Amino acid sequence: MTDLPEDLRYTEEHEWVARIGPIRVRVGITDYAQSQLGDVVFVQLPAVDTNVTAGESIAEVESTKSVSDIYAPLNGKVVAVNELLDAEPETVNTEPYSDGWMFELEFADASTLDDALSKLLDAAGYQVVIGG
């Protein structure tokens, strides 16, 4: 069984979502995803101020094995990206739930965000997706 933080929400595309404010979330890929990718060598992040739609490819992670798309887990506006990953993409492998985060999204209001988060998987639901 993979160690999954209980306070996060998850997507079937292996992203995690953490609420960090009333209308803001932080997004990254799960430990399971980084372990499937292998050694991450490059991360292409979305541009700040980009409006994104849930399910669209907005970033890429390149590893020694392949290039994988990162999908927007929710509709929102990109308000920050993790610039550490430009210099240290391997942080995605070593700290997927902390320093290896990828981008932050902002929403119009808290109730919109509440509703969107309620549609994502909890840790137990994601565990089923990855065969746990």
Domain for residue 42, yes or no?
Answer: yes
Domain for residue 4, yes or no?
Answer: no
Domain for residue 38, yes or no?
Answer: yes
Query: Taking the model in full, what pTM does it have?
Result: 0.95
pLDDT tens digits, one per residue of 65-108: 999 999 999 999 999 999 999 999 999 999 999 999 999 999 99
pLDDT tens digits, one per residue of 88-98: 999 999 999 99
The total domain count for the chain is 1
The dihedral region occupied by 6, where left means phi > 0, alpha psi between -120 and 50, and beta the remainder, is: alpha
Q: What is the CATH number of the domain that holds 94?
A: 2.40.50.100
2 has pLDDT over 60:
no
Q: How far is CA 114 from CA 19, 49, 52, 80, 117, in A?
A: 10, 21, 17, 20, 5
Domain for residue 2, yes or no?
Answer: no
Which pLDDT score, from 0 to 100, does residue 1 have?
Answer: 46
Domain for residue 109, yes or no?
Answer: yes
pLDDT tens digits, one per residue of 4-63: 999 999 999 999 999 999 999 999 999 999 999 999 999 999 999 999 999 999 999 999
Domain for residue 91, yes or no?
Answer: yes
The whole-angstrom separation of Cα 132 and Cα 22 is 32
Domain for residue 1, yes or no?
Answer: no
